Amino acid sequence: MNFEFSEEQKLVQQQARQFLTEQSPLSVVREVLERDASQVRIHEDVWQGIVKLGWPGVAIDEQYGGLGMGYLELCVLAEELGRSLAPTPFSSTVYLAAEALLLAGTEAQKERWLPAIATGGLVAGLAFVEATNGIAGQALNMRWQDGGLQGRKTPVFDAEMAQLLVVSAINEAGEPGFYLLETDQPSVRCESLTSIDPTRSIAAVEFSKAAADPMRQDLDFAATMGVIQDRAAVLFAFEQLGGAQACLEMATDYTRQRYAFGRPIASFQALKHKMADMFVAIELARSNAYYGAWSLSTGSDDLTEAACVARLSASDAYYQCSKENMQAHGGMGYTWELDCHLYYRRAQHLASVLGRQAYWKDRLIAEVA
Amino acid sequence: MDFKDSPAQAEFRHKVRQWLQANAPADNTLSRGGMESDEAMREGREWQARIYDAGWACLTWPKEYGGQGLTAIEQVIWSQEVAKFSTRDGFFAIGIGNCGPAIMLYGSDQQKQSLLPRMARADDIWCQLFSEPGAGSDVAGLKTRADKDGDSWKINGQKIWTSQAQYADYGVILTRTDPTLPKHKGLTMFFVDMKQPGVEVRPIKQADGGQAFNEVFFNDAVVPDVQRLGELNGGWGVALAVLMNERLAIGSVAPNGWPEYWDMIRKLELDGKPALEDSEVRRRTADWYVKNAGLKNAQARMLSAVANGGVPGAEASLGKLVGASMCQDISAYALDLFAEMGVCADEQMALMQAQFQKAYLYAPGLRVAGGTDEVMRNIIAEQVLGLPADVRVDKGVPFNEIKAGNIRQ
Ligand SMILES: Cc1cc2nc3c(=O)[nH]c(=O)nc-3n(C[C@H](O)[C@H](O)[C@H](O)COP(=O)(O)OP(=O)(O)OC[C@H]3O[C@@H](n4cnc5c(N)ncnc54)[C@H](O)[C@@H]3O)c2cc1C
């Protein structure tokens, strides 16, 4: 057993951190934050830089144009992306769409699209959710009829920039399935929405008889959906972890140099215990995330269990760390100018992207009991 | 003991209800924490003038100063009833709730007569100038100076987080009048004309995007000595009296998220069934129901103690301590119940979601305003339970020798 990342993986992490510190500092995140409603909330240059480094293809097989390094490397990148709050469509393209393609794409679809994702800078996304129907919702309203998709998906993350969407829909026989759709057609209408985290792009997408290709027909829809979710849960957990860790570091830095009552506020036990609790929550989440990474990278059959615990503890840890970081900053923490709220917003965004916590709790117990 | 209204109280409640039904909008969509915009300020002023003219403002204040000479009980009844409507009631909690008592306790008779009725009607807006960049929890560590200049004082320094200062006509300000004394001993309180040339107000944008608080810079601002509140160098005692009122005032209006949550959860459907049929939702909801009931009942007890002649004690801190975190957790939970739609902040698209997002975003401010959670717990531990005080490294040290604020190494 070895519960650590390898030296090579740590090197990837260091390089990623360096790149993001230089190319996507919080000033870049803020530039996106301050954009007006007409602008897409994705930072094009940062995304292009990421594409150049080949990150989208890190876990994609060489056979499909990727680097074929594996999921552990992808997890390490996810942690750094989460830490930096980089406003890019990485998660939609890589954790969601690429994995959906791998799992549900026909050979021809994989050969056509995965290389475009791995090295071509193609932005892709997942259109599963229908407003009141979470990712878990079985009652799909999206229809596949006469070779076209009909219906509405909300929210779709990064849809404004996505050229390719994996869409879930019901066919004429009432069976659910996956469809692959190019967005560059008049029958796909994308309406920008505002997220609680304005450094992320979300939209509602309306399909009116939109041309699409059916994906693999021989799949168990629910089971495939489950694997897509589980993989994404592990990868998002690393983003959440990176964000939570950044919050803890902000809090310890700030409280060390702020004086009240003649002493550094970090010397008050109320704050020390707060930060110790943040650390503990992160360590539990980190350990669960590592377990998830291992399970993902080895194709182990306990992925569902590992994904559920990783997701649940990472969501909790990020909420706790982002809100208590604000609290440790006092009035400063409640200003727009300080960065605390960026993490607090991202924490809520990431906690919601894969549906309700209750869904993951039920999924966990159904799996292990 | 009687938690039910006496016949007189029931009669009063009935009258309040009748008036509110005729005069207040009923929908529950107004976000109570939002105090940011000019629009909110206009609505706040309008509402305050309306209730003043109808005789419902500042119920506990003496009639001659614009109140109704009633007890805290009637005030609670008012608050309970008005909470069922969508109004800006309590919008001037800091001015009326804190500055009001400061003037009432320490102002001259002439000042009280000329200032308080205008404050009660929101004809004048008041702000509280205590916190500074280097002195918040440790507000006695403030540096803004007041120097004697004939019959007047000259004020120099910077205040921060001053709510509603951008609209304020007057402010109650705590200043340092003798930096060679230990920090609590050299402070003096005044009220100051905010519209004079030596006062500059710069709005600060909040984490939630709103703009309710400000930085205020004083450059030789002038305050006549008749506007001193309390003794020279006796400002700390005045501040304590005011802060105690703040805790009570905030406690009575602090949003805890419950009314909005209760409204929402009875309408929400999850997977095609009423959310309250889900046993987890049901039990979490019950937990918050219990907490909200505890807050309501604790407040009633506290206020009946006050009505019976007591002063608001340190235990008044608990309302804000419990309510602020509750608001934060309740909104996070509500957003979680909305699943992926919980991220969607467009009001047209998702009104309910947007409302809880607002609460999620202003709750961190509640946990800091008027004394942080940690400071509230210190007060309960030390002043209510009488536990030994924290070791004080600055005790007895002349103020100008104490380290304060942000010190980068
Ligand atoms: C929305 C809002 C409105 C406000 N309105 C006003 C206003 O109108 N007028 C006004 O004067 N002020 C106002 N304030 C300021 C408020 O009173 C201060 O922000 C608050 O007292 C905290 O002070 P600080 O910001 O300096 O934080 P700090 O005192 O620096 O606190 C930072 C952290 O240290 C902790 N801490 C400090 N001392 C201790 C201790 N002894 N033990 C344990 N932990 C400790 C705090 O709990 C906090 O977590 C407002 C603040 C907010 C957020």
- Chain A residue with Cα closest to B209: A336
**Residues paired with residue B405 on neighbouring β-strands, in sequence order:** A259
Of A89-98, B114-123, B297-306, B308-317, the range with the lowest mean pLDDT is B308-317
pLDDT at B349: 66
Q: Which of A139, A259, A348 sits opposite B405 (nearest CB)?
A: A259
Domain covering A124-214 in this structure, CATH number: 2.40.110.10
CATH architecture for the domain at A7-118 = Orthogonal Bundle (1.10)
Distance CA B134, CA B404 (A): 6
The answer to whether B357 and B331 are in contact (CB under 8 A) is: yes
- Chain B residue with Cα closest to A37: B346
pLDDT band at A113 (very low <50, low <70, confident <90, very high): very high
**pLDDT tens-digit profile of A322-352?**
999 999 999 999 999 999 999 999 999 999 9
Residue B126 φ/ψ, nearest 5 degrees: -120, 145
pLDDT band at B299 (very low <50, low <70, confident <90, very high): confident
State the sign of the Cα–Cα–Cα–Cα dihedral A360, A361, A364, A367.
negative
Enter the pTM of the model.
0.96
B374 to chain A, any CB pair closer than 8 A? The answer is yes
Average pLDDT value for residue range A141-156: 94
Average pLDDT value for residue range B228-255: 78
Average pLDDT value for residue range B125-130: 96
Question: Residue B401 Cα, ligand 1 centroid: separation in angstroms?
Answer: 22
**pLDDT tens-digit profile of B269-296?**
888 899 999 999 999 999 999 999 998 8
pLDDT at B240: 87
How many residues can be counted in chain B? 409
The answer to whether A137 and B271 are in contact (CB under 8 A) is: yes
CA-closest residue to ligand 1 atom 36? A265
The answer to whether A155 and A124 are in contact (CB under 8 A) is: no
pLDDT at B25: 78
Question: Residue B224 Cα, ligand 1 centroid: separation in angstroms?
Answer: 30
**Higher per-residue confidence, B352 vs B50:** B50
pLDDT band at B307 (very low <50, low <70, confident <90, very high): low
- Domain extent listing, chain A: 7-118, 124-214, 221-368
**pLDDT tens-digit profile of A188-247?**
999 999 999 999 999 999 999 999 999 999 999 999 999 999 999 999 999 999 999 999
Average pLDDT value for residue range A150-154: 95
- Chain A residue with Cα closest to B336: A356
Ligand 1 neighbours, Cβ below 6 Å, are A 258, 260-261, 265, 268, 270-271, 327-328, 330-331, 334; B 94, 127-131, 136-137, 161-163, 213, 365, 368-372, 374-375, 378
How many residues can be counted in chain A? 369
CA-closest residue to ligand 1 atom 19? A331
pLDDT at B250: 46
The answer to whether the bond into A186 is cis (omega within 30° of 0) is no
b/e map of A214-243 (b: 16 or more CB within 10 Å)? bbeeeeebeebbbbbbbbbbbbbbbbbbbb
Question: Residue A226 Cα, ligand 1 centroid: separation in angstroms?
Answer: 46
- Of B43, B246, B269, B340, the catalytic one is B246
The token duo for A281 is 């929550």
Cβ contact (<8 Å) for A356 and B160? no
State the sign of the Cα–Cα–Cα–Cα dihedral B227, B233, B234, B239.
positive
Nearest CA among A159, A23, A9, A157 for reference residue A81: A23
Closest approach of B190 to chain A, Cα-based (Å): 24
**Residues paired with residue A241 on neighbouring β-strands, in sequence order:** none
Of A297-301, B84-88, B388-392, the range with the lowest mean pLDDT is B84-88
Label residue B404 exposed, middle or buried (CB < 10 Å: 0-12, 13-18, 19+): buried
pLDDT band at B305 (very low <50, low <70, confident <90, very high): confident
Q: Which residues of B touch A327 (CB under 8 A)?
A: 364, 367-368, 372-374
| Residue B34 clears pLDDT 70, i.e. is over it | no
Q: Which fold, B127-234?
A: Butyryl-CoA Dehydrogenase, subunit A; domain 2 (2.40.110)
Cβ contact (<8 Å) for B346 and A193? yes
Report which DSSP code applies to B401.
G
Give DSSP secondary structure letters for A137-152: ------EEETTEEEEE
**Residues paired with residue A182 on neighbouring β-strands, in sequence order:** A164
pLDDT band at B119 (very low <50, low <70, confident <90, very high): very high
Distance CA A293, CA A68 (A): 16
Distance CA B397, CA B165 (A): 33
Give DSSP secondary structure letters for B293-342: HHHHHHHHHHHHHHHTT----GGGHHHHHHHHHHHHHHHHHHHHHTGGGG
Q: Which fold, B7-91?
A: Butyryl-Coa Dehydrogenase, subunit A; domain 1 (1.10.540)
Chain A with chain B: Cβ pairs closer than 8 A: 168
Contacts of B241 (CB under 8 A, 6+ apart): B101, B102, B105
Angle between helices B7-23 and B72-82 (to 10 degrees): 40
The answer to whether B173 and B154 are in contact (CB under 8 A) is: no
B74 catalytic residue (yes or no): no
| Residue B161 clears pLDDT 90, i.e. is over it | yes
Q: Which fold, A221-368?
A: Butyryl-CoA Dehydrogenase, subunit A; domain 3 (1.20.140)
Cβ contact (<8 Å) for B206 and A336? yes
Give the distance, in angstroms, between the CA of residue A56 and the centroid of all CA atoms in the same chain: 13
**pLDDT tens-digit profile of B339-379?**
998 998 877 667 778 889 999 999 999 999 989 999 999 98
CA–CA distances in Å: residue A81 to residues A89, A235, A241, B303, B380: 11, 11, 10, 51, 42
Do A221-368 and A124-214 have the same topology in CATH? Answer: no
Cβ contact (<8 Å) for A353 and B343? yes
Residue A122 φ/ψ, nearest 5 degrees: -65, 130
Q: Which of residues 45-84 of A touch B (CB under 8 A)?
A: none
Q: Which residues of B touch A140 (CB under 8 A)?
A: none
Cβ contact (<8 Å) for B207 and A155? no
Closest approach of A195 to chain B, Cα-based (Å): 5
Average pLDDT value for residue range A143-166: 95
CA-closest residue to ligand 1 atom 51? B369
pLDDT at B409: 59
**How many Å from the N-terminal Cα to the C-terminal Cα in chain B?**
58
The token duo for A202 is 């979300």
B373 to chain A, any CB pair closer than 8 A? The answer is yes
Distance CA B291, CA B256 (A): 10
Of A84-93, A269-278, A304-313, B5-14, the range with the lowest mean pLDDT is B5-14
pLDDT at B400: 86
Label residue A158 exposed, middle or buried (CB < 10 Å: 0-12, 13-18, 19+): buried
Question: Residue A4 Cα, ligand 1 centroid: separation in angstroms?
Answer: 41
- Chain B residue with Cα closest to A127: B340
The answer to whether A338 and A330 are in contact (CB under 8 A) is: no
pLDDT at B77: 86
Question: Residue A147 Cα, ligand 1 centroid: separation in angstroms?
Answer: 61
In degrees, rounded to 5, the angle at the alpha carbon of residue B335 between the alpha carbons of residues B374 and A132 is 175
User: What is the position in ligand 1's atom list of the atom closest to the CA of A270?
Assistant: 43
Cβ contact (<8 Å) for B340 and A336? no
Superfamily of domain B254-384: Butyryl-CoA Dehydrogenase, subunit A, domain 3 (1.20.140.10)
- Domain extent listing, chain B: 7-91, 127-234, 254-384
| Residue B158 clears pLDDT 50, i.e. is over it | yes
**pLDDT tens-digit profile of B198-241?**
999 999 999 999 888 999 999 999 999 999 999 999 999 999 88
The answer to whether A13 and A72 are in contact (CB under 8 A) is: no
Average pLDDT value for residue range B313-329: 85
**Reported ipTM:** 0.95
